[in-house]
């Protein structure tokens, strides 16, 4: 994974942290690219050798940002990884931010140097960040979508209100606790913006990290065997369709141990266990519906998707074959192309999760709104792009001079 800018770097750092914590098999290699030294410094998990700092040129406004990122440096890090270990390269970033333009530029370089598929994982900005950020995001999607093997989107705007409520409650609880311990010097409360970003990032990592691991586990031994195996190749083939990729994820706690061996349970008539089987099946179906309809990374109409991938994760005894078949049938009828499905048994888990990836989604209402801002910048007081994207600037990076193109879509607002 290659993170660009504040959002992208925080995301890949969390992906790596999650990967290191989740067991013995490593699925993620992370590289962070930024022009903000402090932001890079704050990353906790990515080793210093994988943090690439590119000096900004000292310009103040977003629209004047001129890239100094040297693609060859990123590529040499990627080429340092054993090629057999790379299933795909995933570029991460926050749409609307400056560094995403560098991600787009890097793709062409990767294509000429490497053969692995290149995916994007990008966040959509909140409306409150202003029309300029939205317009920039729209223009960036337009430039990224055609050059990637797949573009996974996560809508900050959709998830922000839910996360904010949770974070505010936690903040409130913390300050109440501090008031109670009034005799102690209060520790500074964590920054609410940072907490919200961290929560949003956790939502992203939980969804997508599971997919990475499902593919890896079935290939390499050591895990509980899956009933229906998904491998990394299958995951990639399904999501490698033109159009966008969304990832729905719903989770529910389950009773650990699963089987109830109490005397009362053993004396129960057989119809009770039929009832339990029904409950397990309908719990899985409900989770699947929630994943698509309420907890998708970006809301969209599932029938506009080309392919889909269904993954059930959790303790095997909490899964239901009937539930699995029902979900499969529903998704089969909903999408137009291929559906792949599998399970990822995690014996020790206290949760059952359903992940539904929709790929090749052609229209997403939120993206259409961003496009229309990018296409009609004049109506919002946004200056139209002044650069054709073909211009270059010569930058000296110590090792010599590099010819660097000026970002292609420098939309700017008179007043942000
Ligand atoms: N989910 C999530 N979104 C973020 C995070 N940080 C920023 N964003 C979003 O991403 C957009 C781009 O922000 P950054 O990634 O900080 O921007 P940048 O690429 O570093 O570019 P500059 O603005 O030039 O510093 C913001 O407008 C937010 O919408 C994060 O940690 N998580
Ligand atoms: Mg930044």
Three state DSSP letters for 320-382: CHHHHHHHHHHHHHHCCCCEEEEEEECCCCCEEEEEEEEEEECCCHHHHHHHHHHHCHHHHCE
Q: How confident is the model at residue 347 (pLDDT cuts 50, 70, 90)?
A: confident
Supply the pLDDT for residue 58: 61
Name which residue sits closest to atom 8 of ligand 1, judged by CA.
Answer: 7
Average pLDDT over every residue of 69-79? 92
What CATH code is assigned to 248-359?
A: 3.30.1330.20
Q: CA-to-CA distance for 308 and 290, rounded, in angstroms?
A: 16
Q: Tell me the pLDDT of the chain averaged across its residues.
A: 84
Distance 103 CA to ligand 2 centre (A): 13
Instruction: Report pTM.
Output: 0.86
How many Cβ atoms sit within 10 Å of the Cβ of residue 373? 22
Q: Is 3 in the pocket of ligand 1 (CB under 6 A)?
A: no
Identify the H or E element spanning 96: none
With tokens 């079935």, the residue in question is: 218
Q: Which atom of ligand 1 is nearest to the CA of 94?
A: 10
Supply the pLDDT for residue 65: 59
Name which residue sits closest to atom 14 of ligand 1, judged by CA.
Answer: 6
Least confident range of 6-20, 97-111, 263-277, 332-346: 263-277
How many Cβ atoms sit within 10 Å of the Cβ of residue 293? 12
What percent of the chain is modeled with pLDDT above 90? 60
CA angle, 206 then 209 then 213, to 5°: 135
Supply the pLDDT for residue 154: 98
- Check pLDDT > 80 for residue 226: no
Q: How confident is the model at residue 181 (pLDDT cuts 50, 70, 90)?
A: confident
Q: Is 163 in the pocket of ligand 1 (CB under 6 A)?
A: no
Average pLDDT over every residue of 179-196? 76
Average pLDDT over every residue of 269-289? 85
- Check pLDDT > 50 for residue 390: no
Q: Is 307 in the pocket of ligand 1 (CB under 6 A)?
A: no
DSSP tag of 190: P
* Cα pseudo-dihedral 215, 150, 247, 85, rounded to 10: 20
Tens of pLDDT, residue by residue over 83-93, are 888 999 999 99
What percent of the chain is modeled with pLDDT above 70? 79
Contact 231, 218 (CB under 8 A): yes
What CATH code is assigned to 2-221+363-413?
A: 3.40.50.1440
* Cα pseudo-dihedral 51, 54, 55, 61, rounded to 10: -110
- The H helix count followed by the E strand count for the chain is 12, 14
Q: How confident is the model at residue 281 (pLDDT cuts 50, 70, 90)?
A: very high
Q: Is 5 in the pocket of ligand 1 (CB under 6 A)?
A: yes
Distance 182 CA to ligand 1 centre (A): 36
Q: Is 197 in the pocket of ligand 1 (CB under 6 A)?
A: yes
Q: Is 129 in the pocket of ligand 1 (CB under 6 A)?
A: yes
CA angle, 298 then 303 then 305, to 5°: 65
Supply the pLDDT for residue 305: 96
List CB contacts of 189: < 8 A, sequence separation 6 or more. 171, 174, 175, 178
Average pLDDT over every residue of 113-136? 96
How many Cβ atoms sit within 10 Å of the Cβ of residue 295? 22
Q: CA-to-CA distance for 319 and 302, rounded, in angstroms?
A: 24
Supply the pLDDT for residue 200: 97
Q: CA-to-CA distance for 413 and 399, rounded, in angstroms?
A: 36
Report residue 391 CA to chain centroid gap.
32
Q: CATH 3.30.1330.20 region(s) of the chain?
A: 248-359
Supply the pLDDT for residue 391: 37
* Cα pseudo-dihedral 227, 154, 90, 335, rounded to 10: 50
Supply the pLDDT for residue 302: 96
Q: CATH 3.40.50.1440 region(s) of the chain?
A: 2-221+363-413
CA angle, 135 then 136 then 139, to 5°: 90
Contact 308, 277 (CB under 8 A): no
Supply the pLDDT for residue 222: 46
Q: Which atom of ligand 1 is nearest to the CA of 34?
A: 20
Q: Which atom of ligand 1 is nearest to the CA of 204?
A: 1
Q: Is 99 in the pocket of ligand 1 (CB under 6 A)?
A: yes
Q: How confident is the model at residue 210 (pLDDT cuts 50, 70, 90)?
A: confident
Q: How confident is the model at residue 392 (pLDDT cuts 50, 70, 90)?
A: very low
**Residue to substitute in 97, 104, 157, 197 for testing ligand 1 pocket (most ligand atoms within 8 angstroms of CB):** 97
Supply the pLDDT for residue 83: 84
- Check pLDDT > 90 for residue 164: yes
Supply the pLDDT for residue 59: 57
């Amino acid at each position: 994974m290659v993170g660009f800018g504040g959002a992208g770097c925080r995301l890949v750092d969390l992906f790596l942290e999650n990967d290191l914590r989740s067991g013995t098999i490593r699925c993620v290699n992370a590289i962070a690219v930024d022009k903000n030294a402090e932001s890079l410094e704050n990353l906790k998990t990515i080793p210093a050798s994988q943090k690439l700092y590119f000096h900004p040129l000292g310009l103040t406004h977003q629209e004047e940002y001129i890239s100094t990122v040297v693609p060859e440096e990123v590529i040499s890090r990627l080429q340092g990884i054993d090629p057999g270990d790379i299933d795909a390269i995933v570029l991460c970033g926050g749409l609307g931010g400056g560094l995403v333009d560098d991600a787009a530029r890097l793709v062409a370089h990767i294509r000429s140097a490497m053969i692995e598929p290149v995916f994007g994982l990008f966040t959509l900005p909140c409306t409150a960040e202003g029309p300029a950020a939205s317009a920039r995001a729209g223009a960036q999607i337009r430039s990224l979508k055609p050059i990637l093997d797949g573009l996974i989107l996560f809508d900050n705007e959709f998830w922000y209100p839910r996360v904010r409520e949770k974070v505010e409650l936690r903040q409130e609880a913390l300050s109440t606790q501090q008031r109670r311990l009034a005799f102690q010097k209060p520790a500074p409360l964590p920054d609410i913006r940072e907490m919200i970003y961290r929560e949003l990032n956790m939502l992203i990592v939980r969804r997508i990290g599971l997919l990475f691991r499902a593919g890896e586990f079935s290939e390499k031994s050591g895990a509980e065997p899956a009933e229906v195996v998904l491998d990394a190749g299958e995951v990639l083939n399904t999501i490698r369709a033109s159009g966008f990729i969304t990832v729905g994820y719903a989770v529910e706690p389950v009773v650990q141990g699963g089987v109830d061996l109490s005397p009362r349970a053993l004396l129960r008539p057989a119809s009770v266990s039929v009832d339990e089987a029904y409950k397990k099946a309908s719990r899985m179906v409900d989770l699947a519906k929630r994943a698509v309809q309420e907890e998708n990374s970006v809301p969209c109409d599932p029938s506009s998707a080309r392919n889909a991938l269904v993954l059930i994760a959790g303790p095997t005894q909490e899964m239901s074959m009937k539930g699995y078949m029902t979900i499969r049938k529903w998704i089969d009828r909903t999408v137009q192309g291929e559906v792949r499905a599998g399970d990822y048994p995690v014996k020790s888990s206290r949760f059952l999760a359903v992940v539904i990836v929709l790929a090749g989604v052609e229209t997403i209402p939120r993206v259409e709104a961003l496009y229309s801002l990018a296409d009609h910048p004049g109506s919002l007081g946004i200056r139209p792009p002044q650069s054709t994207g073909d211009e270059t600037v010569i930058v000296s990076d110590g090792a010599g001079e590099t010819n660097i193109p000026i970002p292609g879509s420098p939309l700017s607002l008179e007043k942000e």
